[in-house]
Amino acid sequence: MTFSVRHLMIARTHGRFEQFQGTVNFDEQNPVNSSVDVSIDTASINTMNEQRDTHLKSNDFLDVATFPSMTFVSKRIEVVSANRGKIYGDLTIRGVTREVALSTEYNGQSKSPWGATSAGFSATTRINRKEWGLEWNVALETGGILVGDDVDISIDIEIIKDAG
């Protein structure tokens, strides 16, 4: 799971969460019956800058000591076309829950040389961080703000079919 956000009004900072776990129940015949339940370890944030990551883990942003995880739980799925859909669900960050829509693409299935069947998915969304209480910012002397409000989220995942 990766994200990017405007920085200094002139560039984008990119990062990722490296630890997460969850369950995807994919109904290939009727995708609207599918579900997603994911928990992300907030302390696993990595922007390739230790000082920034320490600040993002602090009470100014994710407050990982109080909120060690953020979650996404799907509520409904809408099929848009043969391999595209929208997954609507509750995203909880810092104890605040709001509905988001993930624009999702089903990338197909493949069997590995070791016999496991995997399905691939890509998803994107944009959230306003302030809606989850992530309000810290600094005004720049040149005008504007240090950190943009909109956060673009991108997910690429392979799920392995349960043999049972």
What pairs with residue 122 in β-bridges?
Answer: 105, 156
Counting the structural domains of the chain, the total is: 1
CB 39 within 8 A of CB 47: no
Cα–Cα distance, 35 to 48 (Å, whole number) = 32
Q: Which of the two residues, 148 and 37, has the higher pLDDT score?
A: 37
116: domain CATH number is 2.40.128.110
Q: What is the pLDDT of residues 82-123, one digit of tens each?
A: 899 999 999 999 999 999 999 999 999 999 898 889 999 999
| Four-residue CA torsion sign, 154, 22, 102, 57 | negative
Range of the domain at 58: 2-160
Q: What is the pLDDT of residues 124-141, one digit of tens each?
A: 999 999 999 988 887 777
Q: What is the pLDDT of residues 46-68, one digit of tens each?
A: 999 999 999 999 999 999 999 99
Cα–Cα distance, 106 to 118 (Å, whole number) = 12
